């Protein structure tokens, strides 16, 4: 039973690593559009649902950038490089040396 559970967790982790960015981006768009439609219909939680969908979309782009060392879209690149903090950029310091002693 424990071996089956560990194998299932391992398979789920591999699937999350391989398809997580795509699934988060698609689900984020769907949730955001649904939230917008709910907000237009007058539902009080529509904007909160839209914000949650936007966060899912950003998380999907973050996962893609972490996995592929590049950005999937120019909008995601602009968001990570200009709007969000430098510590949240998944490609930070991958193309430049991280050694601080290179000035000597």
Residue 97: the pLDDT is: 53
Q: Does residue 98 have a pLDDT over 60?
A: no
Other CB atoms within a 10 A radius of the CB of residue 64 amount to: 21
In this predicted model, what pLDDT tens digit does every residue of 46-88 receive, in sequence order?
Answer: 999 999 999 999 999 999 988 888 888 888 888 888 887 777 7
Alpha carbons 104 and 30: distance in angstroms, whole number: 52
Residue 80: the pLDDT is: 83
Closest-CA residue to 69 (of 96, 101, 99, 29): 96
Alpha carbons 58 and 14: distance in angstroms, whole number: 21
State the DSSP code for 101: G
3-state secondary structure of 41: coil
Q: The tokens of 43 are what? A: 């539902």
Percent of the residues in the chain that have a pLDDT greater than 70, as a whole number? 88
Give the global pTM. Answer: 0.76
């Amino acid at each position: 039973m424990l071996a089956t559970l560990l194998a299932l967790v391992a398979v789920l982790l591999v699937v999350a690593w391989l398809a997580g960015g795509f699934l988060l981006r698609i689900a984020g768009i769907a949730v955001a559009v649904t939230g917008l439609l709910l907000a237009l219909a007058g539902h009080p939680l529509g904007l909160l649902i839209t914000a949650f969908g936007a966060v899912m979309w950003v998380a999907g782009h973050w996962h893609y950038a972490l996995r592929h060392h590049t950005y999937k879209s120019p909008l995601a690149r602009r968001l990570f490089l200009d709007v969000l903090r430098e510590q949240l950029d998944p490609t930070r310091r991958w193309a430049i040396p991280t050694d601080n002693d290179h000035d000597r």
